[in-house]
Structure 1
Amino acid sequence: MSRESKLFRVNLAEELRTLRKQAEMSTRSVAAELGTSAAWVSRTETGARQPNQDEVTSLCRLYGATDVLLRLLVEKAAASDGGGIELPTLDTYTDQLANVMLLENEAHRVTEYELALVPGLLQTTQYARQILSTVDRAPAELERRLSTRVGRQTLLSRPNGPELWFLIDEFALLRPIGGDAVMREQLLNIVKQAQCPNVRVRIVPSFRGAYPGLDGPFAVYEFAALNTYVYLEDRRGGTFLTDSPGVRQYVAVRDELWTEALDEEQSLDLLREAAERLNDDGTGVAQEQSKRIRDQVRRGGVPV
């Protein structure tokens, strides 16, 4: 399947099909067990029909799914509206972004690790505009990308949405993108979004020195029944990893970073302190801010 021209199949239907194959059952044998038709099973697995919660429960029990897996898929059935992802035009950028959005919407856990910037799902409009403006684009194209990036953030508050884990290197907080006022708003927005029950934010402090992850940002998408995906983004676009050895390496790095980072409470304290050091009148000094935060963390954490 070409990632340039087609979307990944990672929806509920595909997960049910994966479970059936793992159970080594045919569509006919499933139909016989449930008193339905093979066509019903096939249409459920291709997405031609949307199964309800009771149907998903029956299928999961027939396939021997764990209670945790059953719960995740039933929640997905309850949250699904049967709709798709709508983007303005059909081009290379749109198709690749649609893949990312589909992964975000269908995963039960998303982890974003960023080395130099605030993750896109946490960016304010003004911060995102500054980032997107670093590339020479027509005004209409800039607004299109900005609207799409901000629109993705409905994921943060979606009922039964995925777990969203964010790992951010401390230096991403010290770069005054757009000036002090814009950056202060950005830092406080991270604190605000971290209050959502499905959102967790951890900061990797600068005093850690060299650590796995310094070679670049990545995102990990984990599913109830499907294999994990990893997305690597660069200036030209991005690469999706699905091979098990490569994916396992990034999951291991994610797990190590999660342990090495400050915990959630310490991370939010660091964010609040960084925001307080920035003045709305633009007189804040990034270098002074960076030095003070690093000194405080080295002494055992940022004061509350």
Structure 2
Amino acid sequence: MSARSRLFRVNLGAELRTLRERAEMSTRTVATRLGTSPAWVSRTETGARYPTPEEVAALCDLYGATGEMHDLLTAKAESNDGTTINLPSHDQFADQLANIMLLETEARRVTTCEIALVPGLLQTAEYARQMISTVNRPQSEIERRVATRIGRQAVLSRPNGPELRFLIDEFVLRRRIGGVRTMRGQLQKIMADSECPNVRVRVIPASAGAHPGLDGTFAIYEFAALETYVYLENRKGGIFVTDGNATQQYVESRDALWEAALGENESVELIDALVEGLIDD
């Protein structure tokens, strides 16, 4: 197993285990149905062995996973080099989130560049609820997603957690999502989170004009022993890229933006001024 795809191979096994548990099948039952051994099933789920696309398809069929889920997992099994993995968006499973959380757990440093919204790790529950509600979903699904997003924020204070860097365009902070009260709470949370020892927040000022981040939001995951991952998200889903030439371009953009942005103290001063400028209706 190559270093660059190890994380996704482990995650694929975790997804297969989740499907098995939802189907209420034991490893022994699966082994009997497929003519293999319980150890084969366990090793597949822990990432000790990497299944072929045909094996993943057989497991999906057994577990009743069809459509996009079936196609996604078999496509992951085909991504042997791990250089690019496409993740379609779908309300019935949280594959993107599962991979992101896995990377956040393993990374040495995470840098998020946002030009549209407050980064998820810094969002308040109300801000997150406003954004998640822009898509027509049942209220129970909205609340589940909000709770999951807030739960991810434990990484902000986790002992020996990654260094978390956030580059936020000034216009993100000026966009009043949910009204004055919601936005005031959101800006105050960013200032509070910036005090965590492993968190660094820099604002890209409006005066910066055109900058590399305007091409789109991206997140960079850097590791001690693995190659760098870049995550790109869009309306239809997301893409993880680990090809060295491609990721280097994003690293260079990140470095340029980090220098062009306001320093941490100046950024907090700007956010504080924006809070003071919010007047209740």
TM-score over 0.5 (shorter chain): yes
RMSD over aligned Cα atoms:
2.2
Gaps of 5+ in 2: 12-42, 49-89
Distance 1:237 1:248 in 2: 22
Distance 1:262 1:91 in 2: 37
Matches within 5 A, 1:54-93: 93=93
- 2:232 matched to 1:232? yes
Per the alignment, residue 130 of structure 1 pairs with: 130
Q: Which amino acid aligns with 2:218?
A: F
- 2:174 matched to 1:159? no
Contact 2:10 2:47 in 1 (8 A): no
Q: Which amino acid aligns with 1:147?
A: A
Per the alignment, residue 201 of structure 1 pairs with: 201
Per the alignment, residue 249 of structure 1 pairs with: 249
Distance 2:94 2:219 in 1: 18
Contact 1:10 1:106 in 2 (8 A): no
Distance 2:91 2:270 in 1: 40
Distance 2:187 2:171 in 1: 12
**Residue 99 of structure 1: CA displacement?**
0.3
**Residue 96 of structure 1: CA displacement?**
1.8
Aligned length: 203
C-alpha distance 272-10 of structure 1, shift in aligned 2 (>3 A): farther
Bigger radius of gyration: 1
Contact 1:10 1:103 in 2 (8 A): no
Per the alignment, residue 189 of structure 1 pairs with: 189
Distance 1:10 1:227 in 2: 16
Q: Which amino acid aligns with 2:240?
A: F
**Residue 141 of structure 1: CA displacement?**
1.2
Matches within 5 A, 1:98-117: 98-117=98-117
The SS at the match of 2:172 is helix
Q: Deviations over 1:241-294 (max 9, x none)?
A: 011111000010000000000000100000000011113x33xxxxxxxxxxxx
| TM-score normalised over the length of structure 2 | 0.68
Q: Deviations over 1:153-190 (max 9, x none)?
A: 00001011100000000000010000011001100100
**Residue 211 of structure 1: CA displacement?**
1.0
Q: Which amino acid aligns with 1:195?
A: E
Contact 1:114 1:217 in 2 (8 A): yes
Q: Deviations over 1:81-126 (max 9, x none)?
A: xxxxxxxxx9764122100100011101000110011000000000
Q: Which has the higher contact order (CA 8 A, sep 6+)?
A: 2
| TM-score normalised over the length of structure 1 | 0.63
Matches within 5 A, 1:284-295: none
Distance 2:132 2:247 in 1: 29
Matches within 5 A, 1:262-301: 262-279=262-279, 281-282=280-281
Gaps of 5+ in 1: 12-42, 49-89, 283-304
Contact 1:127 1:178 in 2 (8 A): yes
C-alpha distance 210-228 of structure 1, shift in aligned 2 (>3 A): same
Contact 1:203 1:267 in 2 (8 A): yes
Taking only the aligned residue pairs, the percentage that are identical comes to 63
Distance 2:110 2:166 in 1: 8
Q: Which amino acid aligns with 2:166?
A: F
Per the alignment, residue 211 of structure 1 pairs with: 211
Q: Which amino acid aligns with 2:168?
A: I
Contact 1:10 1:102 in 2 (8 A): no
Distance 1:92 1:231 in 2: 21
Per the alignment, residue 20 of structure 1 pairs with: none
Per the alignment, residue 8 of structure 2 pairs with: 8
**Residue 7 of structure 1: CA displacement?**
6.0
Q: Which amino acid aligns with 1:156?
A: L
The SS at the match of 2:214 is coil
